[in-house]
Structure formats: structure tokens, C-alpha cells
Amino acid sequence: MPVRSRLTLKPPGNAPLVRRERLAEALRQSREAMSDVERQLGSLLAKLQAAETPGTEDLDRLRRAAGRAGAAVGRLR
């Protein structure tokens, strides 16, 4: 058999339909994560506009949301 055959088999996890499903799931997760970041930032902005100091739990929620968003966007690569 020649080193390079005319028949090339793609790995099952790399087939176009499988990739499309994974991409769709990653896009959904990143959209949800970015929406969460947006909610957290809106909450912090409302507190700042009301001259309130955001609590540490608010800042921690934002950090976690940003981390989840970063991870979700990273899965898109």
C-alpha cells in the first residue's frame, strides 16, 4: 500500500457534522456566559449609580462570570 493512499479517512470526532454540533454548543455556552457577565456588570453599575459600594460577593460573581465567559470563548478556538 502506498504511503499516501487516495482514500483518506477522517477521524470520527472531526467530521463536519460533529464539528458543527460542537461549535453550536460552544457558541451557546459562550452566549450564556457573556449574558451572565452583562447581568453582573449591569448590577454593579446600578449599585455605583446609586452611590452604593459593591460588595465583595458582587465582585466575586463578576470574576466567576468573566472566567466562565473566557473559558467558553476559549472552546471556540
pLDDT, tens digit, 9 for 90 and up, residues 4-32: 656 666 665 566 666 788 888 888 888 88
Residue 48 lies in a domain: yes
Burial of 19 (0-12, 13-18, 19+ CB in 10 A): exposed
Its pTM stands at 0.56
Task: List the domain range (segments joined by +) for residue 43.
Answer: 15-74
10 in any annotated domain:
no
Helix (H, G, I), strand (E, B) or coil at 4: coil
Q: What is the pLDDT of residues 49-72, one digit of tens each?
A: 887 787 888 888 888 888 888 888
- Tell whether 2 is covered by a domain: no
